[in-house]
Amino acid sequence: METTLRGVGVSHGVAIGEVRHMGTAVLEPPAKQIPAEEAEREQGRARQAVEAVAADLIARGNLAGGEAQHVLEAQAMMAQDPELIADVDRRIAVGSTAERGVYDAFAAYRALLANAGEYLAGRVADLDDVRNRIVARLLGVPMPGVPDSDEPYVLIARDLAPADTALLDPTLVLGFVTEEGGPTSHSAILARALGVPAVVALPGAGEIAEGTVVAVDGSTGEIFVEPSQEKRSEMESASAARKAALTAVTGPGATSDGHKVPLLANVGGPGDVPAALEAGAEGVGLFRTEFLFLDDSKQAPSEEKQIAAYRAVLEAFPEGRVVVRVLDAGADKPLEFLTPADEPNPALGVRGLRSLLDHPDVLRTQLTALARAAEGLPVYLEVMAPMVADRADAKAFADACREAGLQAKFGAMVEIPSAALRARSILQEVEFLSLGTNDLAQYTFAADRQVGAVSRLQDPWQPALLDLVSLSAEAARAEGKSCGVCGEAASDPLLACVLTGLGVTSLSMGAASIPYVRATLAKHTLAQCERAASAARAADSADEARRAAQAVLSGE
């Protein structure tokens, strides 16, 4: 009998197939004591396992490329964390086996992360995956991971670690469903990059029996268990129509009556550029430069290394627009040379621009590298600061840009409610705004962007969040300046129309989403988008806002 479940759709498309479950996590190793003379040998085993797992993660990253590579390299650094390794050594020295020492040390660190605020708590799944891989190697059992199958299937898991998501084979994994996670989790971002339909935050997904046929709609978040033939045909027809619409619309982003909405790509480095170009991105709306810094948490990359990475991206978009976000460190991206180690809540502490203003040499080197990278290129370079709270922050950043001799537009990210509320004041110091809707939702609703239990508050359709977007866009329009969106909200085609109706002037997203957004915008006039935006803001919940906008745009 057909039943319907609803999670959070995070990657467009339809998948219909039999369920396969993710391999189970490693069992807890026994807590037995070892003689003192075996401690050194056990410490050596632990270190070898750690290095092997780190090397495997890096190798997986090299195979995957793009943003996945940066995520997996960050996981490898997590495995090799000196404090964690020192804790493992201490536990083995007092009698633990290598596997038990690793398990307990990671458990202690896990507890710290889980209680350390929104961003770091969101990395618990990544940490668990690293622990499981190390313990599995020490126990000599198979690594947890995707199941072996010769036939295509829909993967169901409690959560998916980046190491698993990055190397999913789209010819076998038709789509995936997780019980946990949120729309901005690593797995969701990588799913969009792979073009695999995905639904997250679906409680009870693990109870769907192995081999059960399900139909997954990655756009709506709906899961149909044992779908009828009629439902399958309906979804397949809708999917085919959607794909046909994608190929029918090409060129720059615009509404049906010619209102231009540039569609830009979010990238983490040169590896993400080919997909952006293939999708027809008109430029880069968010260049996440922090991935370059995560290669070595102890020191910043040299100016020459930065120049090479920046220039590779800038050269790919001659006469296009490239918006670079300067280093956004802190919270879930701690760097030993930059961020405090003893903050009680890093997500609310010295993060983003605050870190850079405390270390002006790091900011100056990055801005100088950007200036040199752009020399002689016809690209339109724009540079923006993360986590701007007020006009003082904006002025400090603009002053630093000018002092570095940067010939570019200077902008501010709107990720904190105060920045949206005082956007017009901030625009006295900078030339554009860019809305990071992921963090803006997190800070508006006090809802961790990685925790499935609060995913309804991370929904970018929340009317309160739309109000803040509207305030920012209105401020930019009043000042004759631009206001884009570079958060994951821009990847939702229906929401892209609403954002356009709110006055947003450009949309930036993962490359895989660009064709969907382009095709949907092309079907509606600016006036329709504005009416849909008004209807969404008048609603009292995210679901009501989505339905209200859909009704307007479908002519109901």
Pairwise pLDDT comparison (200 vs 397), residue with the higher score: 397
Q: Is the pLDDT of residue 117 over 50?
A: no
> 3-state DSSP helix/strand/coil percent for the chain, to nearest 5?
50, 15, 35
Reading the block at residue 63, the tokens are 């195979």
Map 224-264 to HEC letters: EECCCHHHHHHHHHHHHHHHHHHHHCCCCCECCCCCECCEE
Give the pLDDT score at 296: 63
Give the pLDDT score at 419: 98
Give the pLDDT score at 297: 60
Q: How confident is the model at residue 180 (pLDDT cuts 50, 70, 90)?
A: confident
Least confident of 91-105, 149-163, 172-186, 445-459: 445-459
236's CB contacts (< 8 A; 6+ apart) are 14, 16
d(CA 207, CA 86): 39
Q: Is the pLDDT of residue 181 over 80?
A: no
**pLDDT digits over 38-92, tens only?**
999 999 999 999 998 888 888 877 777 766 777 788 788 888 888 889 999 999 9
d(CA 96, CA 90): 9
Least confident of 213-217, 340-344, 545-549: 340-344
Give the pLDDT score at 332: 57
Give the pLDDT score at 108: 85
Residue type, 414: V
Q: For 516-534, what is the mean pLDDT?
A: 96
Write phi, then psi, for 464 (nearest 5 degrees).
-60, -40
**pLDDT digits over 197-232, tens only?**
999 989 889 899 888 999 999 988 999 999 999 999
d(CA 298, CA 122): 23
d(CA 549, CA 547): 6
Q: Is the pLDDT of residue 95 over 60?
A: yes
Q: Residue 322, SS3? A: strand
Pairwise pLDDT comparison (552 vs 63), residue with the higher score: 552
Q: Which residues are catalytic?
A: 186, 486
Contact indicator for 494, 549 with CB cutoff of 8 Å: yes
Q: How confident is the model at residue 426 (pLDDT cuts 50, 70, 90)?
A: very high
Q: CB burial class (10 A; 0-12, 13-18, 19+) of residue 65?
A: middle
From residue 387, alpha-carbon distances to 266, 331, 404 in Å are 18, 12, 21
Give the pLDDT score at 127: 78
Q: CB burial class (10 A; 0-12, 13-18, 19+) of residue 377?
A: middle
Give the pLDDT score at 132: 86
**Can you name the residues that pair with 471 across neighbouring β-strands?**
none
Give the pLDDT score at 544: 95
Write phi, then psi, for 8 (nearest 5 degrees).
-115, 115
Place of tokens 């009998």: 1
Contact indicator for 120, 333 with CB cutoff of 8 Å: no
Residue type, 343: E
Give the pLDDT score at 351: 86
How many other β-carbons are positioned within 10 Å of the β-carbon of residue 472?
29
d(CA 11, CA 56): 27
Going by their DSSP bridges, the two strands 14-21 and 153-157 should be labelled as: parallel
Give the pLDDT score at 333: 61
**pLDDT digits over 471-488, tens only?**
999 999 999 999 999 987
Q: Residue 506, SS3? A: strand
The DSSP H or E segment spanning 9 is strand 8-11
Give the pLDDT score at 118: 44
**Can you name the residues that pair with 173 across neighbouring β-strands?**
153
Give the pLDDT score at 345: 74
Q: For 24-50, what is the mean pLDDT?
A: 86
Give the pLDDT score at 56: 84
Least confident of 7-11, 102-106, 291-295: 291-295
Residue-averaged pLDDT of the chain: 88
Q: How confident is the model at residue 121 (pLDDT cuts 50, 70, 90)?
A: very low
**pLDDT digits over 272-329, tens only?**
899 899 999 999 999 999 888 876 667 888 999 999 999 999 999 998 999 999 999 7
Q: Is the pLDDT of residue 154 over 70?
A: yes
**pLDDT digits over 353-377, tens only?**
999 999 999 999 999 999 999 999 9
Reading the block at residue 373, the tokens are 């990278």
Q: Residue 391, SS3? A: helix
Give the pLDDT score at 479: 98
Closest CA to 514 of 270, 224, 283: 283
Q: Is the pLDDT of residue 418 over 60?
A: yes
Give the pLDDT score at 120: 46
DSSP state of 330: B
Q: For 442-460, what is the mean pLDDT?
A: 79
Q: Is the pLDDT of residue 119 over 60?
A: no
